Structure 1
């Protein structure tokens, strides 16, 4: 049964992948002409539909918020989760506008810029700038602004749907950004950009590959965090700032914020530096907690799992669930049932 379902799923995925990619590309093109306010009006009701069709997003968001804000009662966390999913939906709808829309219209949607002096001062001193860009607000708007004002380099990994690669790549590069691969050549390119006193962007809240991170507290719980930052700082004397593009009330536009990073990021010891990175992300989230992408499994890995200690499966923060809206969910469900029957 399991092999049959897996083969059927793979066959269906091969047929549906081009259709999915073309549908997304067409949607972005159609939405690119709408205003940010109109997109926000669309995002609110659409987010409710997404929650119904994909309960996993709602469950993970609420679980993460429970860890980050234990002082909030259940009702307050439910409201915050609903707002967060609406903002995440708005970000997805806005991508077409940022990548394909009129450049002047996108530029005019950025109504405020705070903390630009942190970047200007560093470059005046001949230092490069590392911008920590967490998944907050609309990070593509931040990329648009940065690449419009500074020589800017960021890592780029092609999407799963090849049809979307030219749209995303051209959208991110159209204001002058330089995209480099997520490998050793890309890291070398980041170092060269910093030594030229340019700006680079790093995603501080994505789970790195095995051996490329350490566990450091994020909202009081160990989260597997990348160690690329201390290596770059140690070799370039760069200044580190946190950058976000906050969505203004009712989708009226965006406010860019640059915040001085926590001093811990400059520590040579990797765990201490990673703690500084996570503290910097927490400070950015405090601007508007609902605008952070809480549906990402930030605590997916545990120290016990990484060390394969007994009981590491029970130590998982995210319990295994089965979504019956997908073939993969059904396949996992039957596999679990068979294992349980053998044990019984």
Structure 2
């Protein structure tokens, strides 16, 4: 039986991937519609997932009463499920079919000005809205190097690589070699992309408040900005209702705006508050990766 387990796992993985690839044949309204159905099922029957999300949302103090909390949780659950399905659809669909899903881009002229400096630009994209569409849109126009952390599920790695490395996008692993790639891209005057709200590994961050609670926060973005003089932007892809597409929001961060982890988290909070229902509240932002406990606020 033990000898059969790898074969069974391989067959199951192949089946799952084949099913996910079917999403490339569907229009965005259908994909988001299926996401709503999936979200409803999760909201009603996945108690562990729901309880974890409620604990997180209570910490953030975004609502003042239980009714508001449940309402926000319901919206978040539906949006997160849409996000899960749209991610695979974006990975598997041809780039030429995905780019037209972007309806408006706010702040693009600031990006072009930032590129003219020749010092590169840093895009900080939190787990907000559709974070796959932003890099794909930019990579269709200019070269970009995106930092990523390889998934625990090995079968996902080739999907991530094939889905994201399109146009002029290059992936850089979250290690010393990847950081070197980011620095080289900035020195060439190109763009890089980083998820600023991802919990860093031990020794790669500092404790700083995030929605009123201490969170271990990366220092990489500020170090790269200081070293290169690159212009920093906060960016996210707002998911429009009824599968109508996405609006990309890009906001320039003033010089020194992310000098400390506290300032960085304040910029992330400001961005999330533009569209709180589409943030990945289920992500454990406060998890500990073998670093010392946080100081008291």
Residues 205 and 13 of structure 1, relative CA distance in 2, 3 Å threshold: farther
Aligned to 1:200: 192
Secondary structure class of the residue paired with 2:232: strand
Supply the distance in 1 between the matched residues of 2:47 and 2:163 (Cα, whole angstroms): 31
Q: CA deviation at 1:200?
A: 0.2
Aligned to 1:276: 263
Structure 2 matches for 1:128-147, cutoff 5 A?
128-147=120-139
Matched, 1:169 2:161: yes
* Aligned counterpart for 1:151 among listed residues 132, 143, 155: 143
Deviations 1:83-140 (A, max 9, x none): 1111111111112221111322211111010011221111112221110011111111
Supply the distance in 2 between the matched residues of 1:76 and 1:289 (Cα, whole angstroms): 13
Q: CA deviation at 1:18?
A: 2.7
Aligned to 2:67: 75
Aligned to 1:101: 93
The question of whether the paired residues in 2 share the 8 Å contact of 1:261 and 1:276 is answered with: no
Aligned to 2:286: 299
* Aligned counterpart for 1:58 among listed residues 23, 43, 50: 50
Aligned to 2:174: 182
Matched, 1:23 2:15: yes
Q: Greater helix share, 1 or 2? A: 1
Q: CA deviation at 1:197?
A: 1.1
Q: CA deviation at 1:295?
A: 0.2
The question of whether the paired residues in 1 share the 8 Å contact of 2:63 and 2:69 is answered with: no
Matched, 1:88 2:80: yes
Aligned to 1:319: none
Unaligned stretches of 5+ residues in structure 2: none
Deviations 1:253-287 (A, max 9, x none): 000110123655442xxxxx211221121122112
Secondary structure class of the residue paired with 1:155: strand
The question of whether the paired residues in 2 share the 8 Å contact of 1:28 and 1:95 is answered with: no
Supply the distance in 2 between the matched residues of 1:126 and 1:301 (Cα, whole angstroms): 38
Which piece of structure 1 moves more, 42-51 or 31-40?
42-51
Larger Rg: 1
The question of whether the paired residues in 2 share the 8 Å contact of 1:218 and 1:279 is answered with: yes
Secondary structure class of the residue paired with 1:32: helix
Q: CA deviation at 1:56?
A: 2.6
Unaligned stretches of 5+ residues in structure 1: 1-7, 268-272, 316-344
* Aligned counterpart for 2:102 among listed residues 110, 114, 127: 110
Count residues with an aligned counterpart.
296
Q: What RMSD over aligned residues (CA atoms) do the two structures have, in Å? A: 2.5
When normalised by structure 1's length, the TM-score is: 0.79
Secondary structure class of the residue paired with 1:134: coil
Aligned to 2:252: 260
Q: CA deviation at 1:17?
A: 4.1
